[in-house]
Structure 1
Amino acid sequence: MRCSTRPCWHMRDNGEVTSATRRPQPPAPTVPPRLIATDLDGTLLRDDKSVSQRTVAALAAAEEAGIEVFFVTGRPARWMDVVSDHVHGHGLAICGNGAAVVDLHGGPGSHQFVKIRELATETALDVITLLRAAAPGTSFAVERTYSFHLEPTYPSLHMEPPDTIAPAEKLLAEDAQGADQPVLKVLAYHSDIAPDDFLGLARIAVGDRAVITRSSPSALLEISGPGVSKASTLALCCAERGISHEEVVAFGDMPNDVEMLTWAGTSYAMGNAHPDVIAAASGRTVANNEDGVAVVIERMLAERR
């Protein structure tokens, strides 16, 4: 099922952020939480891409207490094997920065798309043209539901070989390999511009034609369809379950998490988070390598008891 809905959601004021000079003591949610939404890389996962036993136990305890857990990530569905063993009862993940909702119950290699919010080919081509003009030297890759395609000048940044190598215009042509699959996002890389500068430049050049964000330490931008973000897709999923934003606790570390952290009733920036994330979140926990998500969940469940 494809979803083109662009919902409106409540945006609350940013809360006070705990000082980074002392160990954070994140505030408890003001209402009983019904759903935990957590980013993966730099948040739930340690730097070696593992999920600690402490974190596994905390996620299981949350679900046993009746709190749903959603993995909300920029990763494509193909890269979700890292958490497939930890999905417990729910088995759903928001992938591609909100471009897809995926059922993980089938296990590695058997993920099913529940909802797709695609980037229209015409929009993708328009954005590419604008970015080529605004930042000469930009190279592009195209992420589809089941395949990955890149330009010859695009660097080897990802964990899989491409299905096709060609100029972006050919990758998005009607007769291109994988053209029967929706485009989930376009990636744009620049070798000579600082990451945050590239993000700011691209947002000015593209305007509201698409959503542009980043989650990589390099100057790698992630481009989704208009209105598509982690926050907007999470809002759709919560509305389907009768869950309000006040009942959501969210975790993140990079600019692609900012909208989600602003939308959630309670949110936490990781100790290793980008400054924009710290400003957006209502609280702060310790770093991903210190199991910051588990620290909050354990405290939250203890207070419920």
Structure 2
Amino acid sequence: MVVTDMDGTLLNSNHDVSSKFFELFKDLKQQNIQFVAASGRPYYSIVEKLQPIKNDIIIVAENGGLIIKNENVLLSNKLNPNRLLELYKLVTNLENTYPIFCTKNQAFILRASDDLINTFSEYYSVYTIIDCFEEITDDIIKIALYHTTNSEAQIFPLVKHLKPELNVVVSGNHWVDISEAITNKGNALTFLQKQLNITPSETMVFGDYNNDLEMLKCAKYSYAMENAHPNVKAVADFETESNDNNGVELVLEQLITESRKH
């Protein structure tokens, strides 16, 4: 099984998947290697990026809050509804922080400028603009908090007290994500390994940010991108080229060459 994060990993800086990857995917499929896209992105956004192969892969969305295969939901971790109002009040009172309430099929964005909504729509292409909590109509899987400069320095210190009752993770330079305590990509990957009867020694993982740490620990072949956060490089066993230099594809080429020998 090959598992890769999306932003900063499989996607280049323009948020695109290379045509080379789609070519290599045919070989993975031929070799009977299961491909899993594991991202902080919502399900519908990952599907947009991997449209040509969406029926042949497993999607782990919202940092492990949702696992979907062929439109069948295998796992869904919703935030406890009894805590939502309290969380809503907390995150909407943080200065220079823009909360997005993520559900399976859409995002609910609290008042934001057109420029910001344009930025968000790269990740959350299906959204509703809201003015109050009552307008959120679906189960919330994750709250994503966006900061215009640095989420790790500016947002994380103000919400880290929510741990360990909730999972609070810096998932990108601009993003901090809040979800149920059990929600992370590692638990999602462990769930899939059990379901598919695939061991960690048969698993290869690629990642670049702190929301990838748990899943990197679930694989014998764990790769940090050259552009990865220092925490990721410390945990991963191997390193590959950056996301703009086809780091994932380079390793997959080697994997396919090796598996053809066996």
TM-score between the two structures when normalised by the length of structure 2:
0.86
Deviation of 1:129 (Å): 4.6
1:158 aligns with 2:109: no
Higher relative contact order (CA 8 A, sep 6+): 1
In 1: Cα distance, 2:59 partner to 2:110 partner:
29
Judged with a 3 Å threshold, the aligned counterparts in structure 2 of structure 1 residues 204 and 247 are, in CA distance, closer, same or farther, namely same
Q: Which residue of 2 aligns with 1:241?
A: 196
In 2: Cα distance, 1:209 partner to 1:128 partner:
16
Q: Secondary structure at the match of 1:146?
A: coil
User: Equivalent residues in 2 for 1:62-211 (5 A)?
Assistant: 62-79=28-45, 80-87=47-54, 90-103=56-69, 105=70, 111-129=71-89, 135-136=94-95, 138-153=97-112, 155-156=116-117, 157-159=119-121, 160=125, 162-167=127-132, 170=133, 173=134, 176-178=135-137, 181-191=138-148, 194-198=150-154, 200-202=156-158, 204-211=160-167
**What amino acid is the match of 1:223?**
I
Q: Secondary structure at the match of 1:263?
A: coil
Question: Whose strand proportion is higher, 1 or 2?
Answer: 2
The answer as to whether partners of 2:106 and 2:126 remain within 8 angstroms in 1 is: no
In 2: Cα distance, 1:227 partner to 1:93 partner:
18
Judged with a 3 Å threshold, the aligned counterparts in structure 2 of structure 1 residues 263 and 124 are, in CA distance, closer, same or farther, namely farther
Judged with a 3 Å threshold, the aligned counterparts in structure 2 of structure 1 residues 55 and 153 are, in CA distance, closer, same or farther, namely closer
Q: 2:6 aligns with which of 40, 65, 81?
A: 40
The answer as to whether partners of 1:271 and 1:286 remain within 8 angstroms in 2 is: yes
Q: Secondary structure at the match of 2:251?
A: helix
Question: Whose helix proportion is higher, 1 or 2?
Answer: 2
Deviation of 1:87 (Å): 4.0
In 2: Cα distance, 1:227 partner to 1:149 partner:
23
Judged with a 3 Å threshold, the aligned counterparts in structure 2 of structure 1 residues 161 and 144 are, in CA distance, closer, same or farther, namely closer
Judged with a 3 Å threshold, the aligned counterparts in structure 2 of structure 1 residues 289 and 138 are, in CA distance, closer, same or farther, namely closer
Q: Secondary structure at the match of 1:300?
A: helix
Q: Which residue of 2 aligns with 1:17?
A: none
The answer as to whether partners of 2:97 and 2:155 remain within 8 angstroms in 1 is: no
Deviation of 1:61 (Å): 1.2
Q: Secondary structure at the match of 2:172?
A: coil
Larger Rg: 1
Tell me the alpha carbon deviations over residues 153-198 of structure 1, each in whole angstroms, 9 at most, x when there is no partner.
574231136313124xx2xx4xx342xx321101223457x32224
Deviates more, 1:75-84 or 1:119-128: 119-128
1:252 aligns with 2:207: yes
The answer as to whether partners of 1:123 and 1:210 remain within 8 angstroms in 2 is: no
- Gap regions ≥5 residues in structure 2: none
TM-score between the two structures when normalised by the length of structure 1:
0.75
Deviation of 1:119 (Å): 1.2
Deviation of 1:261 (Å): 1.0
Judged with a 3 Å threshold, the aligned counterparts in structure 2 of structure 1 residues 259 and 198 are, in CA distance, closer, same or farther, namely farther
In 2: Cα distance, 1:164 partner to 1:177 partner:
10
Deviates more, 1:142-151 or 1:154-163: 154-163
The answer as to whether partners of 1:269 and 1:283 remain within 8 angstroms in 2 is: yes
1:49 aligns with 2:15: yes
The answer as to whether partners of 2:9 and 2:206 remain within 8 angstroms in 1 is: yes
* Equivalenced residues, count: 253
Q: Which residue of 2 aligns with 1:226?
A: 181
Give percent identity, aligned residues only. Answer: 23
Deviation of 1:199 (Å): 5.6
Judged with a 3 Å threshold, the aligned counterparts in structure 2 of structure 1 residues 191 and 293 are, in CA distance, closer, same or farther, namely closer
**What amino acid is the match of 1:83?**
L
**What amino acid is the match of 2:106?**
S
Judged with a 3 Å threshold, the aligned counterparts in structure 2 of structure 1 residues 269 and 61 are, in CA distance, closer, same or farther, namely same
Q: Secondary structure at the match of 2:83?
A: helix
Deviation of 1:276 (Å): 1.4
Judged with a 3 Å threshold, the aligned counterparts in structure 2 of structure 1 residues 47 and 150 are, in CA distance, closer, same or farther, namely same
Judged with a 3 Å threshold, the aligned counterparts in structure 2 of structure 1 residues 272 and 291 are, in CA distance, closer, same or farther, namely same
